[in-house]
Amino acid sequence: MRILVVDDSGLQRKILSSSLLKQGHDVVVAAGGEEALALCEATPPDVVLSDWMMPGMDGLEFCKRFRAMEREGYGYFILLTSKSEKGAVARGLDNGADDFLTKPVHPDELRARITAGERILQMQRQLSDQNRVISRTLDELQGLYDALDNDLIEAKKLQQSLVRERYRRFDTADLSLLLRPSGHVGGDLVGFFPVGKTRLGIFAIDVSGHGISSALMTARLAGYLSATTPDQNVALREAGDGSYVMNPPDEVIERLNRLVLEEMETEHYFTMLLADVDLATGHVQLSQAGHPHPLVQRADGTVELVGTGGLPVGLIEDAEFDKFELELAKGDRLLLYSDGITECPDAGGGFFEEDGLIRLAKAQRHLPGREFLEAMVWTLAESTGTDDFPDDISAALLEF
């Protein structure tokens, strides 16, 4: 090791240097603190042996200045002193000393203290090496995280593009859509597809779990219910004149159940609501597969939850799904929504629940579709104390 000996006594420097050279160390000497600091700045030593009592800058002040210097590795500092009282030792340790040697120094004790310092320095070097490995690994992980984060941002844009239109005005109805994943991407999906001039299919889907795998499944399901390619939409069948008509909602969900179990190798399942709306009459046929009950708000403000419940899609082979019907009159609204709304936690440890949604519908009945959905998100954020929701939130609101 490189050892710096600091002592105003030339004889003491010679004695210590001779002993350390015999032990195989590289030794440099200084007659005082200022000279020693200059040597430390030029080539930092591994170990410093410094007398305490020196004219000008004493060993204690030199130790403080030595510790304040910037250096790559640790420097082991041993104070040479004739002081043996505990108070003096405590002062030395407080100012950065690692060890003490009492003068006159015995060669065997000097060798033992230097060996102890060498062990500590070796452990420090090993720790520094490990820290460098950890730092490099963290840098690599950060790079991977940044790349993944960028991919997820792009995936979010792509998933949001599955809902091409958030608002559509028809002759007799307005439709507003809300899709807000809890993270970058989620497992909720809402959408619609026109069927001729007077019929409209509306769907709400909630895939189990969160994240990329759930989002990939929503993308697959969006293809099965495409508005732009009716020949690939499982809810539609071609009529003899080249137009398309909608299959009964319960049969559509049964077909999706078979497709998931037969063609998709996945542990995911999903809940779903599918509505076939006659825009001319207000007659609606629906099928519910484990999704929350649809909310109907009449023109006079009264609210009812409708539906039959049903099993989720993709759990049981040959599962059957029920169909139910309702009538919408002028001024009525139909809301399809995910359980991310009703199961959103509130600040008191409870949940928003269906009662909270009913209260919201009554309180905000004067708001049109898009503003109503914005108010719902704002109310949920106010209730839970944050807009970072634990689950995906989605809804489709039809105003007849």
Question: In the prediction, which pLDDT does 46 show?
Answer: 94
Q: What does residue 313 show for φ and ψ, rounded to 5 degrees?
A: -90, 135
Residue 86 has pLDDT above 70, yes or no: no
CA-based nearest residue to 190, from 201, 356, 279, 320: 201
- Per-residue pLDDT of 188-205, as tens digits, reads 899 999 998 899 999 999
What are the residues whose beta carbons fall under 8 Å from the beta carbon of 16, sequence distance 6 or more?
A: 5, 7, 49, 105, 110
Strands 270-278 and 244-246: unpaired
Angle between helices 10-22 and 107-161 (to 10 degrees): 70
- Per-residue pLDDT of 10-63, as tens digits, reads 999 999 999 999 999 999 999 999 999 999 999 999 999 999 999 989 999 999
Residue 185 has pLDDT above 80, yes or no: no
**Hey, what are 44's tokens?**
């930092």
Q: Is the pTM of this model over 0.75?
A: no
Question: In the prediction, which pLDDT does 83 show?
Answer: 65
DSSP collapsed to 3 states, the chain: CEEEEECCCHHHHHHHHHHHHHCCCEEEEECCHHHHHHHHHHCCCCEEEEECCCCCCCHHHHHHHHHHCCCCCCCEEEEEECCCCHHHHHHHHHCCCCEEEECCCCHHHHHHHHHHHHHHHHHHHHHHHHHHHHHHHHHHHHHHHHHHHHHHHHHHHHHHHCCCCCEEECCCCEEEEEEECCCCCCCEEEEEEEECCCEEEEEEEEECCCCHHHHHHHHHHHHHCCCCCHHHCCCEEECCCCCEEECCHHHHHHHHHHHHHHHCCCCCCEEEEEEEEECCCCEEEEEEEECCCCEEECCCCCEEECCCCCCCECCCCCCCCCEEEEECCCCCEEEEECHHHHCCECCCCCECHHHHHHHHHHHCCCCCHHHHHHHHHHHHHHHHCCCCCCCCEEEEEEEC
Go through the domains of the chain in sequence order and give each one's CATH number: 2-129 (3.40.50.2300), 162-399 (3.60.40.10)
DSSP bridge pairs for 102 = 81
- Per-residue pLDDT of 120-158, as tens digits, reads 999 988 998 899 899 999 999 888 878 777 776 676 667
Asked whether the beta carbons of 296 and 306 are under 8 A apart, the reply is: yes
- Largest Cα separation within the chain, whole Å, is 115
Residue 232 has pLDDT above 70, yes or no: yes
